[in-house]
């Protein structure tokens, strides 16, 4: 971690400890943490798709100590770090998830790893440094044991959310887990997915879409019109899908 990123990390930590949210991502982090604490039990089974450095996995393990968890991370050095970090705690797999199975190019944004993904997209970083590697792409339906029960999933995959849900449609329809997911402009359109498509597949799985705040406060789910409005205006890009 370079000096600039170290300073940003420390400032974020200080603001978080003071309860100050200076970015949308800080608000999303706080709300996601609250949902994990509220919705998971000690035996909940969870999937972290796009687990990066394991920030969400750490929160999951703090609550669901007896659950069986899977993490998916195709960036090679992050995968290696996660394997070492979660020995005997989490099954870490080096796959990108989608609606087909193949070996595909994966774009690592070296100066902003969080933007990495199967396709090029918009990057909110000046002069992105892009490294292309080959990764295995799998369907969620083909990976998990038949008797595995999914309780909670977090998906953060920079635009590939619809394809991942499509590739896991059978297991998701069977389990109807709570899904915390990202979906927004600047990413999803590069995968040819729309808010209508996302809304409809989640409905077919048997779930409804909520804003994070609405879900926590037990308010109404979003209609298709409301979900499209949020997407088009860019007012939010993290959501919850639940029964």
How does pLDDT run across 116-159, given as a tens digit for each residue? 999 999 898 889 999 999 999 999 999 999 899 999 999 999 99
Domains for the chain: give ranges and CATH numbers: 23-242 (3.40.50.150)
What confidence tier does 27 reach under pLDDT thresholds 50, 70, 90? confident
Q: How far apart are CA 220 and CA 203, in angstroms?
A: 15
What confidence tier does 20 reach under pLDDT thresholds 50, 70, 90? very low
Lowest-confidence segment of 21-25, 108-112, 189-193 by average pLDDT:
21-25
pLDDT score recorded for residue 124: 87
For residues 88 and 61, which has the higher predicted lDDT (pLDDT)? Answer: 61
What confidence tier does 7 reach under pLDDT thresholds 50, 70, 90? very low
What confidence tier does 23 reach under pLDDT thresholds 50, 70, 90? low
Radius of gyration of the chain measured on its C-alpha atoms: 17
Q: How far apart are CA 230 and CA 198, in angstroms?
A: 13
Model confidence pLDDT, tens digit, residues 171-223: 999 999 999 999 999 999 999 999 999 999 999 999 999 999 999 999 999 99
Contacts of 37 (CB under 8 A, 6+ apart): 59, 63
Residue reference for tokens 């991370």: 73
- Containing H/E element for 104? strand 102-109
Percent of the chain with pLDDT over 70: 90
pLDDT score recorded for residue 187: 95
């Amino acid at each position: 971690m370079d000096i600039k990123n170290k300073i940003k990390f420390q400032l974020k930590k200080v603001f978080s400890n003071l309860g100050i949210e200076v970015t949308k991502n800080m608000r999303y982090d706080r709300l996601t943490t609250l949902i994990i604490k509220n919705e998971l039990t000690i035996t909940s089974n969870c999937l972290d798709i796009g687990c990066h450095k394991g920030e969400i996995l750490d929160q999951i393990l703090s609550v669901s100590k007896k659950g069986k968890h899977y993490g998916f991370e195709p960036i090679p050095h992050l995968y290696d770090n996660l394997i070492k970090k979660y020995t005997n705690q989490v099954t870490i797999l080096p796959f990108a998830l989608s609606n087909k199975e193949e070996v595909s190019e994966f774009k690592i944004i070296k100066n902003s790893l969080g933007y990495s993904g199967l396709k090029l997209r918009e990057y909110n970083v000046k002069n992105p440094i892009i490294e292309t590697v080959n990764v295995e792409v799998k369907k969620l339906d083909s990976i998990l044991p038949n008797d595995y029960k999914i309780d909670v999933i977090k998906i953060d995959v920079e635009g590939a959310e619809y394809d991942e849900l499509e590739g896991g449609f059978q297991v998701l329809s069977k389990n109807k887990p709570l899904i915390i997911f990202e979906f927004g402009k600047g990413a999803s359109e590069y995968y040819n997915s729309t808010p209508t498509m996302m809304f409809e597949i989640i409905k077919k799985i048997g779930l409804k879409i909520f804003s994070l705040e609405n879900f926590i406060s037990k308010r109404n789910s979003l209609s298709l019109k409301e979900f499209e409005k949020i997407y088009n205006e860019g007012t939010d890009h993290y959501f919850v899908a639940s029964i």
